[in-house]
Structure 1
Amino acid sequence: MKNKFYDYCDVMPMENLKEMIEKKAALMPQMTAFVYPCETGEMKKTYLDLKEDVDAFGAWMYSKKIKDKHVAIVGENSYEWLIVYLATVNGGNAAVAIDKGLPEEEIASLAKMGDVDVAFISGTYYEKNKKVAKKCYNLKDFDDFLSEGRKLLKDGAEEFLNYEIDNEKTATILFTSGTSGVSKGVELTNHNIAYEIVHTSMLFEPKGGVLAVLPFHHAFGLVVGILMVINYGQPIYINKSLKYVKKNMEEFGPQTMFLVPLFVEFFHKQIWSEIGKRGATKAFKGLMKSTDIMLKAGIDVRKKTYGTIQKVFGGNLEYIICGGAALDPMYVKEFRSWGIEILNGYGATECSPCTAVNRPYFRKDGSVGHLVPGIEVKTTEDGEIAFKGELVMKGYYKNPEATADALIDGWYHTGDLGYVDEDNFIYLTGRKKNLIILSNGENISPEELEQDIARDSAVKEVLVYDEAGKIVAEVFPEEDHLGNTAYFEKLKNKVNKGRPLYKQITRIKLRDEEFIKNATMKIVRYKNIPK
């Protein structure tokens, strides 16, 4: 199929998550919704199971007077986490999702910021966080809560079942990652989330199972990686820990994965490292050129030629939807050569989160995707990308000043610099707040330099910033290049070659530990740049 516009995917309409769960249970009751590891091996849950579990947990919550409350969820990715979330939202409460990996005092601070009344905490994190709310429940008792809820329903408790969703009410509070400042609580309504699911799904539809690895407390991991897939009606395998990702891919064989760039970069380096160990780098690059030429001629031999690479991902992987941070187009092209299409996307928590994504047969390398149908995009006079539409947040919780700064006449100002082409594909050039402004008045986007440096196989992580009027690149090298100043001096000269003097890196600093990162593995600039 030619790379051009084609009709949007047919998507099941719905107004809120309660309606979505009810429709799925009615239309495909015995189809698998979730698969996840358990003590006895593997547990499968159908769409009917999902609805019945949500209803039972919701009935139990109502019996405990958890109505019209702010409910925190703290814990690792799990089926239990999702049931608590769906029962909370479908019962008219607001779910406050908090990163379990944060320090205890920060979890407590976010709970206080979100006016949390009740908290559900996984067994692993319960003891450390059992005072974040007036009432805290340990999710190790999940089965008991569910059992009590089922009994309540059997005895005629119908209040939860009969609750009518107010689509304009806050359903979820998600905290921004805070890569350049203090976190804020993003309020998303039932309608925001439903609109996002329906309209973003019009651009892409998986045709098989999905492995969920991104954290559920993050908008991309929850709304796109879970809720959207439920609406598609495809099975989801829940990865409970990143150390099991490789094992889960081999066992489940996903057709689609939703990832952030760090995963893509890691897999890419691992693949080339294995090829390098065999002394086959040059030959393999030649092979890739040959199969690329054949593909352009309509002959696709990628599955047969690169079966060993595809086997790493379970043998069935066709698509990686990548978002959360910028991704070098080089990765897109090389994964395509191996028979795996990376569809780059873009968004923000404040937009529920997805606003653009490349499509399987309508894509542009270097772009962050085609605009989600039904919303508007523009660039401001100073080149900032802004969005308007029904997926834009209600505001920042109890923070009218920050809300007024971000929402201007209904337009959400992203802080990202870029442009939109004639086909409504969005391109990013940098981050407004990250711009390095030199004394000669020149503006430099550090992301441009970081991308060029990160392409080198010896670089694991890099951060570019201004230090006393000079451009500095701080690098965390791969293990076999730690402390190798001579190598990185040569790399600096290579990156600087052909650049205007004002865009050249003055110095490369080497570090011996990773940068501080947030939940989606973005480097947190303000915590890493020397004061």
Structure 2
Amino acid sequence: MVMNPFKAKPMMEPGEELIATSLTPLTIPAMLARVRARFGDKVAFRQKIAGTWHELTFEQTWRRANDFAAGLIAMGLQKGDRVAIVCESGEPWTIGYFGVSLAGGVGVPLYTELKPTEIDQLLERSGARFLIASSKVLARLGDQFRGVEHLIVAGAAEARSGQPPRFLRRGRPDVVPFDDVALQATDDSRAALQARHVDPDDLASIVFTSGTTGGMKGVMLTHKNFMTNVEMSRRKVQVDEKDRLLMVLPLHHAFPFILFLTGFAVGGETTFENDLLRVRDRLAEVKPTIFFGVPALFEQIYRTILRRAESEGRLELFERGLRIVDVAKRRTGVNLGRLIFREVHQLLGGQLRLMFSGGAALRPETARHFYRLGLPLLQGWGLTEAAPVIAAQDLVQRKFLFSNYYEEHAGTVGVPVDGVEVKLIDVPEKEIYVHLHGEGELVVRGPNVFAGYWEAPKETAEAMADGWLRTGDLGHIDDEGNIWITGRSKYVIVLDSGEKVVPDELEERFSDSDLVEDVCVMPRQKRNKTQVAAVIYPNPDNTLALLAERNEPVTEDSVRVLLQQELDTIGREFAQYKRVTELILSDTPLPKTALQKVARGHVADSFSFDIERWKKSMPAAAPEQEEEEEPAPESAPADAPTET
């Protein structure tokens, strides 16, 4: 048979093309070897502990992770064994996780603020034989560690001295200080490490996530899931070895973890900071080029900028600058923010080229606040089940500086990252049909989509639709391919009239009010009818100030009247059927997820409202600090190189 040399090759799927053209290896061990060879003595990550900078180069990271892996194998770690990690972001977390990956284990990162009973349950569910935990976390835990055979303690002076914490002496786990794990390595375990092969389809992590609904599920993510998402993120953010990244979010969550991994994989320098009160200091010291955060953090940063201007008697000057920026933008499209607000840029380090928000929906108004300052604050969208990035906004400097494009598109999460396909499907149970209004549930497929839920085949099947991951997010896609998220399909309130209310739409608008700190819109049954209710935690400072301005007494009734007036005013912007018919006040902040989203599954439908408790409930603002004073930690890494 004669072959036709001109016959077209079959087109590759987007995911296949991404893998074929990727600059990123498909496993974490292969990535570690690559960056070690390329960047060797360059600083990989750093952290300030007790006033002293502790650093690790890529070469040191490789060596320490390999030593840790060999130690784990000597302690009995088999390929596929689960290793739970419950400690703050920094050297023990990263070396521990990389070591587990090199040894062929599966990392199970857990949130440090989980209740002891929750950690205990997840240890049992995951079948973790090893637990890496910080002494700070262990101080809160009880005696039981279900199924754990080896407890590795990071930063515990008691463990280093051979005296385990009091509550472990009665327990079964073998207690080993973190730095002593490498000392367990033998020639045999090092040989076993060299022979242990990790495949792209091997599990890298089981990430337990409850999202906003409660009921934790273990998301199984492979090396290929993570590393293809690293490549997708690298292309989208255009990060390289010249970038300096400041990480202030906990690494147990997929969003900060993949951004850290992306910066590491290209040779960037990452600084960890676990204390949010120190973020301003770190921005000024580190001078990052890229800064990642969640919406709540960026809102706090903007409020801090306003407070600083007010405390220095320059608020009027600041507002005049904003008006000049607005006029120039409106008349010419040119953004003068960087020129007018140079001092604000210096406050944030002076070298930021990009700020990126994820983990929760960024309010368009928050993004526009930073645009006016000449700072690009973009956002992405994803799910833990997609490792996690699905789509993100692109930064095109020409558009940012010389057009109104970003102001007009502040509500979009951008276009899908390379290698990922996104489409809309109908949601019949909510009477949502794409052909009627162009809106539907967003479904996704690509090499980053998870391998399933841990020991939950039924839930895994429910999450998929003909090979596509059901995100549960409602939205539409514009002519440019930008995705606009409008809400969660499961939370859509279907009224008796058949009309539908999307809670996210109302919550976003209510959150614009200075009187509203937290809000959750939910359905309520009254007289056998479905009605729209709003649970609101009023902002104590602003609400009390307004009551004082009006010379009104501080009572539950006066607060309720004030909030009801606010809801009524905002409600007039919406159709009659969307308006809130019941206001429920909370005297404490609503329950949140680790990334500061309101945890709907934990919001009750009845709250007490005690005036005195409410007045004391607002967390104190971060203090202005002229000089940094840091308390000494329990211990610093024993052999970390330092530079003051």
> What TM-score do the two structures reach when normalised by structure 1?
0.92
Q: Which residues in structure 2 correspond to 1:285-324 (within 5 Å)?
A: 285-294=319-328, 297=332, 301-324=336-359
Q: Is the 8 A contact 1:200 1:355 kept in 2?
A: no
Counterpart of 1:454 (choices 501, 506, 511) is 511
Query: When the two structures are aligned, how many residues end up with a matched partner?
Result: 519
Counterpart of 1:139 (choices 154, 161, 164) is 154
Q: Which residues in structure 2 correspond to 1:45-444 (within 5 Å)?
A: 45-68=56-79, 69-127=81-139, 128=141, 131-132=144-145, 133-140=148-155, 141-149=177-185, 152=186, 157-206=190-239, 208-224=243-259, 226-275=260-309, 284-294=318-328, 297=332, 301-361=336-396, 364-382=409-427, 383-444=440-501
SS of 2:263's partner is: helix
Q: Is the 8 A contact 1:192 1:393 kept in 2?
A: yes
Aligned to 2:539: 478
Cα deviations by residue, 1:94-147 (Å, 9 ceiling, x for unpaired): 111111211111111111111211111111122515632232221232222235
Partner Cα separation in structure 1 for residue 575 and residue 190 of structure 2: 72
Change (3 A) 1:389 1:437: same
Change (3 A) 1:129 1:97: farther
* Range moving further from structure 2, 47-56 or 238-247: 238-247
Q: Is the 8 A contact 1:73 1:120 kept in 2?
A: yes
Partner Cα separation in structure 2 for residue 280 and residue 443 of structure 1: 46
Change (3 A) 1:522 1:47: same
Q: Where do 5+ consecutive residues of structure 1 fail to align?
A: 1-7
Change (3 A) 1:117 1:459: same
Aligned to 1:5: none
Partner Cα separation in structure 1 for residue 353 and residue 505 of structure 2: 29
Q: Is the 8 A contact 2:35 2:266 kept in 1?
A: no
Cα deviations by residue, 1:465-517 (Å, 9 ceiling, x for unpaired): 12223322222222322563343233112201232211112233332211111
Shift in Å at residue 293 of structure 1? 4.5
SS of 1:368's partner is: coil
Q: Is the 8 A contact 2:26 2:227 kept in 1?
A: yes
Q: Is the 8 A contact 2:380 2:391 kept in 1?
A: yes
Q: Is the 8 A contact 1:92 1:166 kept in 2?
A: no
Partner Cα separation in structure 1 for residue 351 and residue 538 of structure 2: 33
| Larger Rg over CA atoms | 2
Q: Is the 8 A contact 1:384 1:415 kept in 2?
A: yes
Partner Cα separation in structure 2 for residue 303 and residue 187 of structure 1: 43
Shift in Å at residue 60 of structure 1? 0.8
* Range moving further from structure 2, 390-399 or 337-346: 337-346
* Range moving further from structure 2, 514-523 or 274-283: 274-283
Change (3 A) 1:381 1:62: same
SS of 2:472's partner is: strand
Q: Is 1:44 aligned to residue 55 of structure 2?
A: yes
* Range moving further from structure 2, 72-81 or 312-321: 312-321
Q: Is the 8 A contact 2:74 2:184 kept in 1?
A: no
Change (3 A) 1:116 1:312: same
Aligned to 1:487: 562
The one-letter amino acid paired with 2:578 is K
Partner Cα separation in structure 2 for residue 438 and residue 272 of structure 1: 41
The one-letter amino acid paired with 2:340 is T
Partner Cα separation in structure 2 for residue 436 and residue 462 of structure 1: 16
Q: CA RMSD in A?
A: 2.3
Partner Cα separation in structure 2 for residue 137 and residue 208 of structure 1: 33
Aligned to 2:599: 524
Cα deviations by residue, 1:290-326 (Å, 9 ceiling, x for unpaired): 2245467476543342133224423322311111111
Partner Cα separation in structure 2 for residue 514 and residue 326 of structure 1: 19
Cα deviations by residue, 1:267-303 (Å, 9 ceiling, x for unpaired): 2233334445667666644422322454674765433
Change (3 A) 1:156 1:505: closer
Change (3 A) 1:300 1:16: same
Change (3 A) 1:11 1:255: farther
> What TM-score do the two structures reach when normalised by structure 2?
0.76
Q: Where do 5+ consecutive residues of structure 2 fail to align?
A: 1-17, 156-176, 400-405, 428-439, 545-555, 607-644
Shift in Å at residue 38 of structure 1? 2.6
Identical columns (%): 27
Q: Is the 8 A contact 1:55 1:161 kept in 2?
A: no
SS of 2:190's partner is: coil
The one-letter amino acid paired with 1:74 is V
